[in-house]
Chains A and B, each alone.
Chain A
Amino acid sequence: MRRSKLLYVPFWATYVFLYAPIAVLVVMSFNAGESAYTYEGFSLKWYGELAGDDRIMNGVVNTLIVAVGSTVIATVLGTLLAVGLARYTRSKLLDAVSLMPAVLPDLVLAIGLLVFYGMIQLTLGLYSVILAHGVFAMAFVAAVVRTRLSGADTSLEEASRDLGAGPVATFMRITLPQLAPGIVAGALLAFTLSLDEFVIAFFTIGNAEPTLPIVIYSMIRFGVTPKINALAAILLLVSFTAVIAGQRLTKIGESRAQD
């Protein structure tokens, strides 16, 4: 059907809005001058500085540790939870509890955990951030897997039992493969959210070496240098590469599935 050309105005405006600031960041990362605002010629020096900045490099490492750790927790527990909620209970309350961290403002979870960790006199560190990220990440995994489950057909499991498979064989050979795309999507979401999470990490990291968002936050608070632009450009490049690689992989996966 024909659609109005007028719709294209907000459509393109959205993309310009999303990408113009990012483009500015990238251009300014090649700034030869010291200022974050005025371009004074081309230089790669900020990339050099970035590579030499231990805090940022350690931040990257810590962020990855936290993201991997919380994704593992969230994926395992979230998947189990989703299956349990979908198959073994009809409780609306449990449903709500499992979804709560996803719609709770970060800040509320952050102070809750701060208070709680303080109460039990825990020494904070990367692991307390991992535990904290596990909370909301699990909610997202559970939500995604549940969507998948609610679309799934319980009769598949019945068919498997009917064909002579026991409960364990059925779970492993039918249920899990069915859920796999949901689990992968959920894990990816959990990982992405953890990578970018700042508030909760900020409140629960204590004196440990900070994650990248915290490093960036304190860098920005102490003034802006084009080094941050260089970091942004590199993060962007990594994301683009990851997306393209991901696309390729799913394409290959799909074409395999066609055979």
Chain B
Amino acid sequence: GGESSSSSDGTTVAAADQLKPDADLSKQSLQITVWDGYTPKELPQRVKEKLKVQDMKVALHATNEEAMNKLTAQGDSGVDVAFVSGQYAQALNAQGLLEPIHPELIPNLANLYPEATQLSYDKGNKYSVPYTWGTTGICYRTDLVKSKPTSWNDLLKPPAWAEKKVTMMTTERWLALPALKSLGYSVNTDKDEEITKARELLMAQKPHLLTYDDTTFGDKLVSGEAVMVEAWDGWCPTTDPKGNIAFAVPKEGSDLWVDTMVIMKSSKNKEAAHALINYILDPAIHSWAAENINYKVPNKAAMEKVKIAKGSLLDIPPARLLDGESIIDLGAASTKYTRLSADVQAK
């Protein structure tokens, strides 16, 4: 690995390794960690064939926190490429755990939308490459709501017909998001009084919830246990055959989230890691994510290959996405959010 050093702008702290573009990939093997179902099942097989790497293993994490834990709580995690959301990539980089991206090894970076290279958590994609992006909103049952949700307050102070039929996410920043936005604050605020206000709102909301749910809120809508849930756009099952599930971005606004790919500094297979990212950015591969997990991908060439139904969740242009406030890592102040999440859940 290279030397680590803090630089004044705080963007890159790890020095780049010397990588060989012509390294023999058949001597390298890959370990990635990614959300369940976030990459094609046969990806390892195809990567092995295409890149001629020795082996490729996929570990799964359920949440960003789990991934962070794996990547920081042990020595060499053994992971070469990790999929984490933007602000976590930023935090990992601040720890000096990431290898700077060597653009020369990823020609497919050219496929990205220009907007996707200027995201606030990592301007210029110095240490991360975006994989999917989207926003957070309210996902609901059109047949079970008495009125369409339009405001975060519909979720935070559910009307009687939604009593104990709404869910929220607990992942720290997304737990706070509805409250912060409904109060008119930035999702990236580090002001104690604003966070306290949000906390009160969330505490007051808790008795009216069905449960907290970060992973299966879609199922709960389908089964009818819930009628309104806080959801990421792609995980809102608008494609459900019964066709009675819809997604709305509340009027107070929301975020722009990006799930990224990063290369670990500890990786011993950095050439293969770059080759993998390059392979994923291939339109043929990257479009898989849009088609199968219903998340938009920041890959112009890929999106052009996808058949997009009018008004579907995929039918949001990058420019509109940028209306959302990009979540960035807050450094030491991020612990205020973990604390907030812990406190609200403990109540």
- A residues neighboring B (CB under 8 Å): 35, 37, 114, 117-118, 120-125, 206-210, 218, 221-224
11 contacts between A and B (CB under 8 A): A114-B73, A123-B78, A125-B78, A207-B77, A210-B60, A218-B62, A221-B62, A221-B215, A222-B36, A222-B37, A222-B62
Verify A123–B62 contact, CB threshold 8 A: no
Report whether A223 and B216 are in contact in the complex, using a CB–CB cutoff of 8 Å.
Answer: yes
Q: What are the residues of chain B within 8 A of A224 when measuring CB–CB?
A: 219
B74 x A123 contact (CB < 8 A): yes
How many cross-chain pairs have Cβ atoms below 8 Å apart between A and B?
Answer: 54
- Chain B 65-105 interface residues, beta-carbon cutoff 8 Å to A: 70, 73-79
The winner among A123, A124, A207, A223 for most chain B CB atoms within 10 A is A207
Tell me, yes or no, whether B147 is within 8 Å of chain A by CB: no
Question: Given known contacts A124-B77, A223-B215, what 5 new A-B pairs fall within 8 Å (CB)?
Answer: A206-B77, A206-B78, A207-B70, A207-B79, A221-B216
B64 within 8 A of A: no
Determine if A207 and B75 form an interchain contact, defined as CB atoms under 8 angstroms apart.
Answer: no
Considering the complex, give the chain B residue whose CB is closest to the CB of A219. B36
Main SS of the interface on chain A?
loop
Q: How far is the CA of A8 from the CA of B75 in the complex (A)?
A: 57
- Whether the pair A123, B216 counts as a contact (CB closer than 8 A) is no
Cβ contacts under 8 Å, B37 to chain A: 222
Q: Which of B178-221 contact A (CB under 8 A)?
A: 215-216, 218-219
Let me know if A207 and B216 touch, CB within 8 A: no
A208 nearest CB neighbor, chain B only? B59
Whether A206 contacts B62 by the Cβ 8 Å rule is no
The answer to whether residues A218 and B36 also contact, given A121-B75, A206-B78, A209-B57 and a CB cut-off of 8 A, is yes
Q: Could you say which residues of chain A place their CB within 8 Å of the CB of B59?
A: 207-209
Closest chain A residue to B59, Cβ basis: A207
Shortest A3–chain B CB gap in Å is 45
A210 to B70, alpha carbons, bound, how many Å?
13
Residue on B nearest A221 in the bound complex, by CB: B215
**How far is A210 from B75 in the complex, measured between Cα atoms in Å?**
19
Give Cα A210–Cα B76 distance, bound, in whole angstroms: 18
Q: How far is the CA of A222 from the CA of B63 in the complex (A)?
A: 11
Check if A124 sits within 8 Å of B74, measured CB to CB: yes
CB-CB contacts below 8 Å: B252-274 with A: none
In the assembled complex, which residues on chain A have CB atoms less than 8 Å from the CB atom of B18? none
Could you say which residues of chain B place their CB within 8 Å of the CB of A118?
A: 73-75
Q: Return chain B residues, CB-CB under 8 Å to A218.
A: 36, 60, 62
CB distance from B234 to the nearest CB of A (A): 14
Which residues does chain B contribute within 8 Å of A121, judged by CB atoms?
Answer: 74-76
- Chain A residue contacts of B57, Cβ below 8 A: 207, 209
